[in-house]
Amino acid sequence: MAKHKILVVDDEESLCEILQFNLEVEGYEADVAYSAEQALRMHPERYSLILLDVMMGEMSGFRMAQLLKADPETARVPVIFCTAKDSEDDTVAGLNIGADDYITKPFNILELKARIRAMLRRAGASGQKDKASRVQQGHIVLDTDERSAWRDGVPVELTAKEFDLMELLMRNPGRVYSRENLLNVVWGYEYIGDFRTVDVHIRRLREKLELDPANPRYILTKWGVGYYLKHG
């Protein structure tokens, strides 16, 4: 099955890099454009979804969205606004233009990924809801739609950040994440905190989800590098 292609349009280059990295980790193809004008030259009809900033250069994201929705070739491409403009009027304006969703900065990258998956399902780009929403490694199961977790068939209560962290690891088994990577992805690129925050959450996840927390089988450490989830 071909990968879904997502176009990220934002004049903040560092944010584009973070979004591109995380989308590619999720299994999408991701391209970036640093202005609306550049994005319109990249044949936006080729994309499954567009992430679009509002406040950019000469042409705003609102204007670009208007042009996309007015063109029959791009009218059906879902658009999600990712913007610092967070007033109710801005949200209503974006949705009235034809945007399919609206998320304000700073946002949780995992929430954005969940919205993208939901948007692609609604657009008919993915018919595998069960596969997308439920992930399992060995005796550990997560349902990302219900935000539920089980250890060996027994329900387990996770905090919001514990769930987000575990979802990231389970969706990318074998991939080693540094503590800095995990802070950026789970807590947000604007989060100011200590790397020990990650260590504490990993310890709690082991206590809650591993059958033998002192000798974890799945939530593992790669010494000097970071953390990863072992394939089941």
pLDDT in tens, 86-109: 666 666 776 777 778 888 887 778
pLDDT at 45: 93
pTM of the model: 0.61
| Domain range for 152 | 132-229
Domain termination residue (choose one: 87, 122, 157): 122
Structure tokens at 11: 């004049």
Domain termination residue (choose one: 100, 122, 144): 122
Say how many domains are in the chain.
Answer: 2
C-alpha 171/C-alpha 229 separation (Å) is 9
Matching residue, tokens 């999408």? 28
Residue 227, phi then psi, degrees to nearest 5: -125, 155
Q: Residue 56: inside a domain, yes or no?
A: yes
Clarify whether residues 95 and 18 are in a common domain.
yes
Clarify whether residues 139 and 202 are in a common domain.
yes
Matching residue, tokens 């209560």? 157
pLDDT in tens, 103-144: 888 777 888 888 898 888 877 644 444 445 788 999 999 988
